[in-house]
């Protein structure tokens, strides 16, 4: 069937403006230039700090800059106002003139410049205008721009969503140079594009991002109407090089007889872009440095940077506020004790707000230090309208000390509340709590869905630690799938990020989980070495490290269980395994207690005794929703006779 321009809906991303003569930088280049100017990365391209920032979404990075006093929008106007329309822009403009509707999340003016004065854009914050052919829902240079996390989390305005639905209905949708990660559009695409005909996607080939696109549009994928267009051969006159989505799109337009562009301009697509970066405006901008360090999790470095600002009169208030926030957000039990005094404040006027904030901060500290009973007591009367932070804290406490299914439900409520609050960190935290609870409950399909659709999109918008926790969960899922090599890779990435943040609780979690991986892979010598590393790490100290649960029993019991399984299966030291399991059998954490009871039952079965402890393990596991533990206990109870019990992996 012949495709006509008026049957097309085009959605253009930043990749379309990368090729010459536009030559505009992608966000990676923008971010690196900013970090260089702030002295947060070095000139080396392999600087590990640069890779740590690389996972953060543009919106959260720009929000941190704005809070640090950098005039982001004027700088973007200078950077993105350069360049000339390339062949892809001219093809898009000609399609628009022939009846296609074009949307772009790019701020630049390149499409309208290619189209001339007749192609007038309709840009947010204005309402979508009737008769327009070019829509810019994130704004346009010279006007207001949606550049930060707070703005994008408000979602697409209703009038714009209504217009989007009308524009795609019955049309062939073409994505050009777009990755599909905008969080105001991401929740809508599958539903909105159900009314479209086919979806063609021109972008750089990338297996991980291709999978993301298929997950983004499961309806079109299932119907066989999602087409990720492969790269096509370059023109004979073009120099050799990698894929170029702009060329692929222009070639498709030519092949379909939709639009043509001068060949000389087409060949320029293959020139190497050389973007120019003007200096950041609004100097001095030293205030941005500790904000970005705090975002990455370099809390010690952020404190040092704030203290350096105390000697600058213009920045004293900003520095004091930053130091107080760091202390409240990353303090220990002494902070919880101090905050408990806020309960003496009368609940009237502004003091009521201070009292409520102090109560939330106190429960946050108690949760980090493992005082789960206190957290459950303090969150016992929550409603659906309660602050998402309180539901998150309750979910964490339920997961560790009560019911995994209840923890997942509490986290789902937290997720809904956090989205209504438009708070990226709370959204990511709620998604993490729910994904982890689902994984521990062995609801693995739900856990994978939650990871991919809820945690991954918002982790990069929140902070580096949530990207690390997402990798941690991938490692746990790989352990459950019996894939030790994949688990090792995921845990290594997670540990690297936690180390960059000096977040020792995250590092400790990875080190302990890695013990299960080494058992899974049969690396006995490495297990002993890793166990020594864990024990040394738990004893170590560091002024700039974040460790809220130093010597917390939950982690200690997890290590004892790993040692017990290793002794039972690998060294066949029954006495050691028995002693270790008994130490944990009375744990206040039912998840660990049920696993210890299960271990005792496995020893009983292996020594030709009735596995009586399996009854206790089954009852406890069933009560808290630990399906993996319950399954193993039930298998022991129904086994026809004594047999070696299989090794148990849990992390």
**Is there a domain that residue 583 lies in?**
no
**Is there a domain that residue 169 lies in?**
yes
pLDDT block averages, 10 residues each, the chain of length 651 = 91 95 87 80 67 67 78 84 94 97 96 95 94 95 81 80 96 96 84 96 93 89 96 94 96 96 96 82 71 75 87 85 74 54 56 63 76 88 90 93 95 94 88 97 96 87 81 96 94 80 79 94 92 81 46 84 95 95 94 96 91 95 96 89 78 86
Residue labelled with tokens 């950098």: 70
Same domain, 89 and 197: yes
Same domain, 338 and 255: no
* β-bridge pairing 134-136 and 121-123: parallel
**Is there a domain that residue 193 lies in?**
yes
Residue that terminates a domain, selected from 337, 356, 375: 356
The pLDDT value recorded for residue 455 is 93
Same domain, 129 and 253: yes
The pLDDT value recorded for residue 549 is 45
Q: How many angstroms separate the CA atoms of 26 and 32, rounded?
A: 10
Residue labelled with tokens 């923008």: 30
* β-bridge pairing 8-12 and 101-104: parallel
**Is there a domain that residue 539 lies in?**
no
Same domain, 117 and 219: yes
Same domain, 260 and 297: no
Q: Tell me if the bond preceding 167 is cis, omega within 30° of 0.
A: no
Q: How many angstroms separate the CA atoms of 56 and 208, rounded?
A: 17
Same domain, 261 and 301: no
Residue 515 has which token pair? 């013990």
Could you please report the per-residue DSSP string of 14-44? Answer: GGGGSSTTT-PPPHHHHHHHHHHHHTSS-S-
Length in residues, the chain: 651
Residue labelled with tokens 């000697």: 311
Residue that terminates a domain, selected from 301, 335, 356: 356
- Can you give the CATH number for the domain in which 259 is found? 3.40.50
Distance set, CA 100 to CA 2, 167, 172 (Å): 15, 10, 10
**Is there a domain that residue 37 lies in?**
no
Parent domain of 148: 5-23+81-268
Could you please report the per-residue DSSP string of 414-447? Answer: HHHHHHHHT-HHHHHHHHHHHHHHHHHTT-HHHH
Same domain, 255 and 296: no
Residue that terminates a domain, selected from 356, 386, 412: 356
Same domain, 201 and 104: yes
Burial bucket for residue 596 (CB in 10 Å: 0-12, 13-18, 19+): buried
**Is there a domain that residue 599 lies in?**
no
The candidate with the shortest Cα–Cα distance to 259, out of 80, 384, 103, 93, is 93
Same domain, 208 and 113: yes
The pLDDT value recorded for residue 72 is 79
Q: How many angstroms separate the CA atoms of 145 and 12, rounded?
A: 17
Q: Is 575 helix (H, G, I), strand (E, B) or coil?
A: helix
Same domain, 242 and 300: no
For the chain, the domain total comes to: 2
The pLDDT value recorded for residue 243 is 95
Same domain, 199 and 296: no
* β-bridge pairing 134-136 and 8-12: unpaired
Could you please report the per-residue DSSP string of 350-419? Answer: HHHHHHHHHHHHHHHHHHHTT-HHHHHHHTTT--TTS-HHHHHHHHHHHHHHS-HHHHHHHHHHHHHHHH
Same domain, 207 and 90: yes
**Is there a domain that residue 505 lies in?**
no
**Is there a domain that residue 515 lies in?**
no
The pLDDT value recorded for residue 547 is 47
């Amino acid at each position: 069937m012949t495709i006509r321009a008026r049957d097309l809906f085009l959605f253009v991303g930043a990749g379309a403006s990368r090729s010459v003569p536009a030559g505009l930088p992608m966000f990676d280049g923008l971010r690196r230039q900013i970090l260089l100017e702030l002295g947060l990365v070095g000139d080396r391209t392999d600087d590990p700090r640069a890779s740590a920032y690389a996972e953060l979404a543009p919106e959260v990075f720009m929000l941190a800059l704005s809070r640090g006093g950098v005039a982001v929008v004027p700088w973007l106007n200078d950077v993105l106002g350069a360049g000339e329309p390339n062949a892809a822009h001219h093809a898009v403009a000609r399609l628009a003139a022939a009846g296609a509707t074009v949307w772009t999340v790019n701020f630049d003016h390149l499409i309208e410049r290619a189209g001339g004065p007749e192609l007038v854009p309709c840009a947010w914050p204005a309402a979508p205008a009737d008769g327009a052919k070019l829509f810019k829902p994130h704004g346009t240079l010279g006007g207001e721009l949606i550049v930060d996390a707070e703005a994008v989390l408000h979602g697409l305005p209703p009038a714009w969503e209504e217009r989007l639905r009308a524009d795609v209905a019955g049309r062939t949708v073409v994505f050009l140079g777009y990755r599909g990660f905008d969080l105001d559009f991401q929740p809508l695409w599958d539903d909105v594009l159900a009314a479209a005909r086919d979806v063609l996607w021109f972008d750089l080939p990338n297996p991980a991002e291709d999978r993301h696109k298929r997950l983004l549009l499961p309806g079109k994928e299932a119907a066989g109407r999602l087409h990720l267009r492969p790269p096509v051969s370059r023109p004979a006159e073009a120099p050799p090089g990698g894929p170029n989505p702009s060329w692929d799109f222009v070639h498709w337009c030519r092949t379909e007889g939709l639009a043509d562009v001068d060949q000389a301009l087409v060949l320029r697509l293959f020139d190497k872009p050389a973007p120019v970066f003007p200096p950041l405006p609004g100097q001095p901008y030293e205030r941005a440095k500790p904000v970005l360090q705090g975002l990455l999790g370099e809390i010690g470095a952020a404190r040092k940077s704030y203290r350096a600002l105390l000697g600058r009169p213009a920045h004293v208030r900003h520095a004091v506020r930053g130091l107080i926030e760091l202390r409240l957000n990353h303090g220990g039990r002494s902070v919880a004790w101090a905050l408990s005094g806020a309960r003496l404040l009368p609940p009237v006027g502004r003091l009521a707000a201070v009292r409520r904030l102090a109560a939330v901060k106190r429960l946050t500290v108690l949760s980090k230090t493992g005082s789960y009973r206190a957290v459950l007591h303090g969150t016992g009367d929550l409603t659906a309208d309660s602050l998402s932070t309180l539901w998150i804290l309750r979910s964490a406490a339920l997961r560790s000390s009560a019911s995994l299914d209840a923890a997942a439900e509490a986290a789902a409520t937290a997720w809904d509340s956090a989205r209504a609050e438009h708070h990226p960190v709370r959204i990511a935290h709620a998604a993490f709590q729910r994904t982890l609870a689902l994984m521990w409950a062995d609801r693995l399909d739900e856990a994978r869905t939650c990871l991919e659709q809820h945690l991954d999109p918002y982790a990069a918008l929140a902070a580096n630690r949530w990207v690390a926790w997402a990798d941690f969960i991938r490692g746990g899922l790989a352990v459950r799938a019996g894939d030790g090599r994949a688990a090792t890779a995921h845990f290594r990435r997670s540990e690297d990020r936690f180390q960059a943040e000096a977040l020792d609780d995250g590092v400790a979690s990875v080190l302990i989980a890695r013990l299960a991986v080494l058992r899974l892979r049969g690396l006995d010598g490495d297990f002993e070495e890793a166990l020594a590393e864990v024990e040394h790490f738990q004893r170590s100290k560091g002024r700039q490290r974040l460790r809220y649960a130093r010597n917390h029993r939950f982690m200690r019991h997890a290590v004892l269980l790993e040692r017990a399984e290793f002794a039972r299966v690998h060294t066949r030291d029954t006495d050691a395994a028995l002693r270790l399991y008994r130490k944990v059998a009375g744990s206040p954490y039912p998840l660990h207690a049920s696993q210890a009871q299960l271990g005792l039952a496995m020893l009983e079965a292996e020594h030709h005794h009735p596995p009586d402890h399996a009854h206790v393990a089954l009852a406890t596991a069933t009560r808290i929703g630990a399906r993996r533990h319950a399954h193993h206990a039930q298998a022991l109870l129904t086994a026809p006779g004594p047999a070696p019990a299989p090794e148990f992996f849990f992390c």
